Amino acid sequence: MWFLLKVTILLLTLAGVRGQGPASDGPTVDDLLDKCVAGLHHKGRPGPEGTLYGQCTPWRERVCCRGNVTEQIHNKPLFPYNFDWHHCGNLSDACLQMFLQDMCFYECSPNQGPWIIKVENQGISERVANLPLCASDCHQWWQACKDDMTCSDGWGWPNTFNWTSGVNQCLPGNECKTFTEYFHNATNFCQNIWKNSYKVVDDSEPCLKQWFDGTQGNPNTAVARQRAEEIVNGAAGARPSLYLGVLGGMMAVAYTLV
């Protein structure tokens, strides 16, 4: 009986200690927030940047891109990934501006850390997945582009274009049609244009904005922190149940020895 009591006290103590905070081998909240995507043009960590260009300006105070990158996004047609926006004739100015805004968000936002995942594809090691995009932003993007033309129902998939020339071209047999004909609605468009990088959520829920007034602060910071805390607390919460499971097994063994 004394053996059983000692085992019980020991494992309950261990489970209690393990439940006090994040797992030692997992990321901290600061790890998740102080992180940029390991992309071709991203900084290693977010920080201030003296000058950003055009639609990338809101992130100047804390940013994952450099000023020269933002200038090239606006002025160098195939930068940064040799992607031709105009593969089915020229996009409208309104639609092109929305895709440039999306590119600024991807290259510059310091708030993507909680949604970064590891991948092994075409020389990249990380990407974002299911990042919560505010429905109002998605709707604005869709309204600007729904009548423009493309020949693919997903630009983020390597097999949806012919890349043999080094620049994306329509695959043989893929017709140029409107975005509406390929994607049908705003949610499907925003979630599939870049291979599930985004998940559209109602504006009443925590969500990220692709555009905001940088002089009023970055509204995405609080959303990213909330998600980072959920991830870390979730990892910590899994530990007590693990140790209580071990406790149950040990107690069952101990009872057979009494």
pLDDT attached to residue 137: 98
pLDDT attached to residue 5: 37
**Within the chain, which residues score under 70 in pLDDT?**
1-25, 121-123, 236-258
CA distance 97 to 215: 21
- Kindly report the number of other CB atoms within 10 A of residue 142's CB atom: 22
pLDDT attached to residue 40: 87
pLDDT attached to residue 121: 66
CA distance 242 to 23: 12
pLDDT attached to residue 115: 97
CA distance 159 to 155: 9
Phi, psi of 126 (to 5 degrees): -145, 155
pLDDT attached to residue 122: 60
Instruction: Tell me, rounded to whole angstroms, the distance of Cα 53 from its chain centroid.
Output: 23
pLDDT attached to residue 25: 64
131 vs 3, 115, 176, 191, CA distance in Å? 51, 6, 29, 9
240 contacts 233 by C-beta, under 8 angstroms: no
> Which tokens go with 190?
């925003």
For 118-122, the CB contacts below 8 A with 24+ separation are: 121/158, 122/158
